[in-house]
Amino acid sequence: MMNRVVLVGRLTKDPDLRYTPSGVAVATFSLAVNRQFSNQQGEREADFINCVVWRKPAENVANFLKKGSLAGVDGRIQTRNYEGQDGKRVYVTEVVAESVQFLEPRNASGGGNRNDNEFYGAPPREPQGNPYGGGNQNQRPNNNQGFTRVDDDPFAGNGQIDISDDDLPF
Amino acid sequence: MMNRVVLVGRLTKDPDLRYTPSGVAVATFSLAVNRQFSNQQGEREADFINCVVWRKPAENVANFLKKGSLAGVDGRIQTRNYEGQDGKRVYVTEVVAESVQFLEPRNASGGGNRNDNEFYGAPPREPQGNPYGGGNQNQRPNNNQGFTRVDDDPFAGNGQIDISDDDLPF
Amino acid sequence: MMNRVVLVGRLTKDPDLRYTPSGVAVATFSLAVNRQFSNQQGEREADFINCVVWRKPAENVANFLKKGSLAGVDGRIQTRNYEGQDGKRVYVTEVVAESVQFLEPRNASGGGNRNDNEFYGAPPREPQGNPYGGGNQNQRPNNNQGFTRVDDDPFAGNGQIDISDDDLPF
Amino acid sequence: MMNRVVLVGRLTKDPDLRYTPSGVAVATFSLAVNRQFSNQQGEREADFINCVVWRKPAENVANFLKKGSLAGVDGRIQTRNYEGQDGKRVYVTEVVAESVQFLEPRNASGGGNRNDNEFYGAPPREPQGNPYGGGNQNQRPNNNQGFTRVDDDPFAGNGQIDISDDDLPF
DNA sequence: TTTT
DNA sequence: TTTT
């Protein structure tokens, strides 16, 4: 119905980039968003919000953001659940980013971001047949710098496989 | 830093109203927000988003919303964690509503909402001293229709006490 | 960089649907959004916010909304300017809706909205070549019920032609 | 009803700080927000969005932001109108910022922002009596560096006086 | 499992 | 009347 989230915060770690079996990029990261007011103990707390982003912007995130980077997210809240390792249902609430903006100033901490200090997600729904051109649909991507390398199965060795093509937001 | 959420959806159950030991009202509810696009199986899925609201708007929510009510929420994402029953940490991501709007039409399903079909939350940060006048700070509220009744301890019998005054957003 | 708007309010008039010379639908409407608090005179004021929506959702707006309809808008603020009738520059600030939701209850005021009480905008970027199928790109659309009829030039007789294909948000 | 705006962009000029006759601070500034996609000519356009902020955050804006500063705004769209110099009604659509965040890195361009690289607006609705303590209600503020100085009437010499205490959002 |  |  309506579901909109806007966040600005800092990555708590380097983003994690993976690929679904059919070759779609997906990056996950956690944003620390400092709260506006201090608590009763006078401390400034933060919320740690898990984010997911798909396709081209996933690769941008992996290439341009790292632990500590200031980033903006425009997206929506998603809930999902899966069978946990112990057989019980695990409930997840996270933010699916439709666009991510790099808010670090130019030539800061070794970035390399062209495009006027920002980049944006691909359109939430893809243009035509082969999304993101180049037939990268069913083959392994070959530029593997900057993210968790995967060989055949991007999720191999990942005990908790809870992201699949079914989670694609489009 | 920046943390803003806007939702429109329907309550999955009647809201749950409780009071902290010091007498502050807090309502929780879950909103089902239908997704914009159908999935690959052609089904329209929904996200089920847990919301919390404090003080006067908590009481409004309890009085005016029920299972199935269409409502709008303007707030922020909050994360917190507590020691689970089994001793392990439980992580929670939820929405703290700063204002809640009743979107059901006038004289729909037994509402009774005055104020031009809407009501709003109290200001996000409280003035000082005695919020919401009337010295309801340290005594039990006595209008108990429409919400989970509490006797002495609002959380009595609630095995999982993970909301306290410390969670007050101001 | 980041530009996000979410509104819920009521149409002040029936929406206005037109077509650009190349056949792209564009609807405009104004939303009255009641303010949260009364002013010093105790009156509840409203903001009257002009909105524009393109393509399929424009036609949905024309078909499903009318004066007084409760609607939600998710979009962004756009500013533009044009040469006024008196030769001076006119500045416009409006909301470009990416999706519009019909918030009126089912079978209310003669709607006819299927799809679980809501509809959404088309994807911000179009699927393939011919957007919205049917080759309506360069010909007049022929379902003219429910909106301002246009014959050859959709803006004919409209002294102030300030919307063209150049204003297309994608 | 619901009216929420989140922006990130750069100030097109130094902010303008004034005071109402009763001594309430109000700052105005314009944010250039680059659009996400280039237009058909391949240029990246921007929206220029006028913002208003009241009270303490107005003074923070005047003290910490200047032309070119990167800032985030969380607020709402407001429309108002006034009698123009030529006797005809002028319609204004602007953003009332409830909080403003300074997104420039620490020790950037001569800032001086403490508070962990950000500051926020005062609560949207004021406690009571004397807002922001210190009896600054009916007297001229005396720290006049960094903003348009005013002597007796903060709007003196301002041909277009269209902001008064009546425009206070609370 | 948390960022500046 | 526009910013990097």
Calculate the alpha carbon distances from C112 to A71, B94, C102, D114 in Å.
42, 35, 11, 56
Contact A30, A67 (CB under 8 A): no
pLDDT at A38 (0 to 100) = 93
Asked which of A97-106, A141-150, B20-29, C68-77 is least confident by mean pLDDT, the reply is A141-150
Q: How far does the CA of residue A75 sit from the closest CA of chain D (Å)? A: 12
Strands (E), C2-161: 2-11, 16-19, 25-34, 46-54, 70-83, 89-102
Q: Which window residues (46-85, chain D) lie with Cβ within 7 Å of strand F?
A: 46, 48, 50, 67-68
Per-residue pLDDT of chain D (170 residues; tens, 9 = 90+): 999 999 999 999 999 999 999 999 999 999 999 999 999 889 999 999 999 999 999 999 999 999 999 999 999 999 999 999 889 899 999 999 999 999 996 556 543 333 333 333 333 333 222 222 223 333 334 333 333 333 323 333 343 444 556 565 54
Write out pLDDT tens, residues D120-167: 333 333 322 222 222 333 333 433 333 333 332 333 334 344 455 656
The pLDDT, as a whole number, for residue A101 is: 97
Average pLDDT over residues A109-125: 37
pLDDT of residue C168: 56
- Provide the CA A126 to C1' F2 distance, Å, integer: 33
Q: Which chains touch D (3 or more CB pairs under 8 A)?
A: A, B, C
The share of chain A scoring above pLDDT 90, in percent, equals 57
Residue C109: what pLDDT? 54
Provide the pLDDT for residue A40: 87
For residue A29, pLDDT over 70 is answered with yes
Q: Which residue has the higher pLDDT, C84 or C120?
A: C84
Q: Which residues of chain B have pLDDT under 50?
A: 110-162, 170
Give dist(CA C162, CA C83) in Å, integer. Answer: 9
Q: Which residue is nearest to nucleotide F2 (CA to C1')?
A: D12
Enumerate the residues of chain C whose CB falls inside 8 A of the CB of residue A127: 125-128
Q: What is the mean pLDDT of residues A19-44?
A: 96
> Is A123 at the interface with chain C, CB within 8 A?
yes
Per-residue confidence (pLDDT) for residue D40, from 0 to 100: 87
Q: Give A143's pLDDT tier (boundaries 50, 70, 90).
A: very low
D38 strand F contact, CB < 7 Å: no
User: Percent of chain A scored above 70 by pLDDT?
Assistant: 61
| DSSP state letter for A123 | P
Query: For residue A164, what pLDDT is reported?
Result: 59
**Which of C36, C101, C118 minimises the CB distance to B99?**
C36
d(CA B33, CA A79): 10
**pLDDT at C67 > cutoff 90:** yes
H/E run at residue B73: strand B70-83
Evaluate if residue C19 carries a pLDDT over 60: yes
Q: Cα separation of A65 and B136, whole Å?
A: 48
The confidence score (pLDDT) of residue D78 equals 98
- String of b and e for B138-160 (b: at least 16 CB within 10 Å)? eeebeeeebbeebeeebbeeeee
CB–CB contact B103 C104 (8 Å): no
Torsion of CA B83, B88, B89, B91, to 10 degrees: -110
Query: Which position has the higher pLDDT, D86 or C154?
Result: D86
CB C122 within 8 A of CB C56: yes
Q: Cβ contact (<8 Å) for C124 and A127?
A: no
Residue D67: which nucleotide is closest by CA–C1'? F3
Q: What would the mean pLDDT of C35-50 be, rounded to a whole number? A: 95
Residues of B in contact with A5 (CB under 8 A): 4-5, 77
pLDDT at C130: 26
pTM: 0.76
Nucleotides of F under 7 A from a protein CB: 1-4
The whole-number average pLDDT for the span A111-117 is 37
Sign of the Cα pseudo-torsion (C52, C57, C62, C64, in order): negative
To the nearest whole Å, the CA of C76 is away from the closest chain A CA by 12
* Cβ(C13)–Cβ(C50) below 8 Å: no
Asked if D105's CB is within 8 angstroms of A105's CB, the reply is yes
Reported as a single tens digit per residue, the pLDDT across C97-135 is 999 999 996 556 544 433 333 333 333 333 222 222 233
Strand partners, A14: none
